[in-house]
Chains A and B, each alone.
Chain A
Amino acid sequence: MDTIYLDNAASTQPDPQVLKAMREVLEQRWGNPSSAHEVGSRARIRLDESRTAIAGLIGCRDDEVYFTSGGTEADNWAILGVLDFWREQKDHFITAPTEHHAVSDVAKWWSERGGSVSWLPVDGDGRIDPADVAKAITPRTALVSVMHVNNELGTIQEIAAIGDICRERGVIFHTDCVQSFGKIPFRMADIVADLASISSHKIYGPKGSGALIVRRGTRLSPRFYGGSQERGLRTGTENVPGIVGFGAAAKLCMERLESENRMVRNMRDRLEREILAAIPNVRINGSRESRAPGLLNVSFRGCDGEALLVALDRKGFCVSTGSACSAGALGASHVLMGIGLDVETARSAIRFSFGRFNRADDVDKLMNVLPQLVERQRQTAPIS
């Protein structure tokens, strides 16, 4: 049975060119980039090239890229680093309940530790009104964090408007760009952010690799001490293979972003049309006007999302009910609850996300089985 992977928002298959680049550094450039000798500098060269590729894709300077172990570390560091650095003057943090847990759980921790947190209201599509950000800012506000593209809904936030407000009011603005970087075209200047988190394994690179983009002049404390790597802000010997894989992935995205964007949008739009035509009583979650191109979140009312996921998996289709959780437990999504869905509708949701390696007939194959699976589920749903 062929596996058809429709969960590219969770992770992506590493591109063969990424593997090639990683193999080269593992085999031939395995030195410590900090070493002064030939072996070290051979690694340093690839590290610097990767930094340039990533900076090029997001439109920042090379020295604004700080490599991390991934999006979660970048999010944690951005928030804790800023709140720690400014703690004498400011202790107020503004974010939204629909953020990734790497942001919202840090906010909860900050609040439990006595810091102050404001949660922004979100509308039924998961959108935040920039005016609410303006209202929430106080003289004690250190940081605002609002993600660019929501990982479950695909909704694109008006982060430039939020960034403008923050800059005007002297508040640092962080945005989690894990789901937008390499998938929709944007540059740091467009989004008016001081800090942006990005990740490698969402763009056909390896896991365990990501970066925090720190706009020049933005002050934050390091989380790690004990070395001078990444200008002393993120110390520890660099994950060279991970970074080089990330760089190779960014280079490919640079070349292909527009055509891939079009391709996944076409597949997503067709799947959405066909679901709406073939399956009654569904709800499309997330903004239909302003949404990441490859992502579709649908509630199949009367179904159980987890059971539908398993039924699809058994037919070879990999999808998600929300964001994959580390325990592997599947549950009602905090994002879907956050946009005001009732529990039953939230628990009936499935996220389909397309990517580079999907083929046009994947939608046809999915639609050959999905309507029957939904229908069967609805007939056998437990009486509650």
Chain B
Amino acid sequence: MNPSHATNSSARNGKERPTVAVAMSGGVDSSVAAALLVRQGFEVIGLTMHLWTDPKGEELSLNRSSGCCSVTMSRDAAAVADRLGFRHYVLDLSREFHDSVVRDFRDEYFAGRTPNPCVRCNTFVKWQTLLARARQMGCDYLATGHYARSDHHGERARLLRARFLDKDQSYALWGLDQDSLCHTVFPLGELTKPEVRKIAAELGLKTADKPESQDICFIPDDDYGRFLRTDGGTGLPVLEAGEIIGPEDKILGRHRGIAYYTVGQRKGLGVAAERPLYVTRIDPHKNRVYVGWEDDCFSDTATAAHVNWVSIGCPGEPIPCQVKVRYRDHGHGARVTAVDEQTVRMDFDRPVRAVTPGQSAVFYQGDVVLGGGVISEFNSVRKP
């Protein structure tokens, strides 16, 4: 999406200038995104999502670091909007966030998987809900501070990686549909983080020196066990101790509850061995955590479910592409075959380490994000 395209399409609607709703967290990225849109001549409004209040009423504790929805964050966003001269609103999307992100996060842990809540938040809250609200408010587009790009190729809109790969966030955006993509602007897609910080400083934005957000926003203390317990998980077997099974099916020790473990994990196993051990598999039904040597953590084939083909139609043939199996991943050569509309099989050119159920597998061809899905199964092979 570029502004000239936006201007043209909007001129057809007979309006003066297109209006963009910017999803503002109060952080530097979305603030600069808003500033750039104002510069480009769009009419801008700012929207901050109120997503989460801790069941114990500890909303304010989110101020500490990265909460998308803390009171301080929305005030920062409001201050930026005021400075840049556009209106800002706070929307309560906590119900949607809980229903489509928090509940899924819990369910996935209970199923022995390691979910990626940011992907679901983007798909279901930022786009499915926030974009719809923005359109109800009379806006033409939604913009975010994501480092990603989009363009048009024939009939279809395509999702592209950011120009600079070190900040690329396209991995978490594979759930967008064509309609969403056509009504989305990514103002930061061509910029580096230092450039963005520089623009923020030039504009005198209050957010120019904020630290990066990293944690899962609704678990500010990083204590997943406490979260799973307080969010309705009391007494569930995922938080009960069980066996750690080593190579050759030997019982090596006890785990604290499978929710504390993730495939590929090395630290915190509490098991002594001559070489480092890694989690290779989690079995929620038997309440077991399987560990092995590093060589045992590899897969050469995996399955992804809930697949969305964001930039292309569902391919009839196997397609060669690069697959990222986690956010910080450079990608692996693979052949991706659609089993059905929502399921793919991925055959990796070389075995890939720690393919983790629950994480997203995202398919790239060059800069283009073809689609993605949620890793559901993988095989184990020894590293060749």
Q: Which residues of A contact B (CB under 8 A)?
A: 303-304, 306-311, 313-314, 327-332, 343, 373, 376-377, 380-382
Taking CB atoms and an 8 Å cut-off, the chain B residues in 78-117 that contact chain A are 78, 87, 89-92, 94-95
* Cα A331 to Cα B98 with chains together (Å): 14
Which A residues touch B163, using CB under 8 A?
A: none
Q: Are A330 and B45 also in contact (CB < 8 A) when A306-B133, A314-B137, A380-B132 are?
A: no
B122 contacts chain A at the CB level, 8 A cutoff: no
A304 touches B94 (CB 8 A): no
B311 to chain A, nearest CB (A): 23
B129 contacts chain A at the CB level, 8 A cutoff: yes
Scoring B residues 303 to 334 as 1 if CB is less than 8 Å from chain A, else 0, what string do you get? 00000000000000000000000000000000
* Cα A29 to Cα B85 with chains together (Å): 39
A310 touches B89 (CB 8 A): yes
A381 touches B87 (CB 8 A): no
Which A residues touch B74, using CB under 8 A?
A: 327-329
B39 to chain A, nearest CB (A): 21
* Cα A194 to Cα B90 with chains together (Å): 39
Which A residues touch B91, using CB under 8 A?
A: 306, 329-330
Number of B residues near A (Cβ < 8 Å) is 20
* Cα A327 to Cα B51 with chains together (Å): 13
Q: Which of B71, B92, B128, B138 contacts A306 (CB 8 A)?
A: B92
B136 contacts chain A at the CB level, 8 A cutoff: yes
Q: Are A330 and B92 also in contact (CB < 8 A) when A310-B45, A380-B132, A382-B129 are?
A: yes
Q: Which of B45, B87, B136, B138 contacts A304 (CB 8 A)?
A: B136
Which B residues touch A306, using CB under 8 A?
A: 89, 91-92, 133
B137 touches A310 (CB 8 A): yes
A307 touches B90 (CB 8 A): no
B14 to chain A, nearest CB (A): 15
Q: Are A331 and B136 also in contact (CB < 8 A) when A314-B87, A382-B129 are?
A: no
Minimum CB distance partner of B50 in chain A: A329
B138 touches A331 (CB 8 A): no
Minimum CB distance partner of A328 in chain B: B90
B136 touches A381 (CB 8 A): yes
Which A residues touch B89, using CB under 8 A?
A: 306, 309-310, 313, 328, 330
A343 touches B95 (CB 8 A): yes
A313 touches B136 (CB 8 A): no
B67 to chain A, nearest CB (A): 12
Most central of A310, A313, A382 by chain B CB within 10 Å: A310
* Cα A329 to Cα B92 with chains together (Å): 6
Given contacts A306-B91, A330-B92, A376-B138, 4 further A-B contacts (CB under 8 A): A310-B45, A330-B89, A331-B92, A332-B95
Q: Which of B90, B128, B138 contacts A330 (CB 8 A)?
A: B90
B135 contacts chain A at the CB level, 8 A cutoff: yes
Taking CB atoms and an 8 Å cut-off, the chain B residues in 25-52 that contact chain A are 45, 50
Minimum CB distance partner of B19 in chain A: A314
Q: Which of B129, B132, B136 contacts A376 (CB 8 A)?
A: B136
